Amino acid sequence: SHLGDALWASMIYFACRVLFTRKPLWQSLLLSLCFSFGIEFSQLYQGEWINGLRTTRLGGLILGKGFLWIDLLRYTVGIVFSYALDRFCWPKKSNNDV
């Protein structure tokens, strides 16, 4: 779903922010985009072992089931929206936040 994929990507962005609190926001933006796109492109590989992981609930949620180009757009929207919230709605801590 559109919203579900955008929320998943938003979660990835904020997980990056939690893990890398001292890094600039743009690094979390880039890292979360790379991670999300990497997961989506990994769905082009249909090896038996990874398909076995994808059949589990957790594996399906993390790895997905099949590649869709539209998912890349959904992830981008979710991550950019989260970055904008992070950048413009929270108090500034330092000049290093950009």
Domain limits, the chain: 2-88
Q: What is the spatial distance between Cα 47 and Cα 40, in angstroms, rounded to a whole number?
A: 15
Express as a percent the part of the chain with pLDDT over 90.
72
Q: What does the alpha-carbon distance between residue 25 and residue 47 come to, in Å, rounded to a whole number?
A: 35
Burial class (CB in 10 A: 0-12, 13-18, 19+), 86: middle
**pLDDT of 47-80, one tens digit each?**
999 999 999 999 888 888 889 999 999 999 999 9
Structure tokens at 11: 């979660």
Q: Average per-residue pLDDT in the chain?
A: 90
Q: Do residues 64 and 43 touch, judged by C-beta distance below 8 A?
A: yes
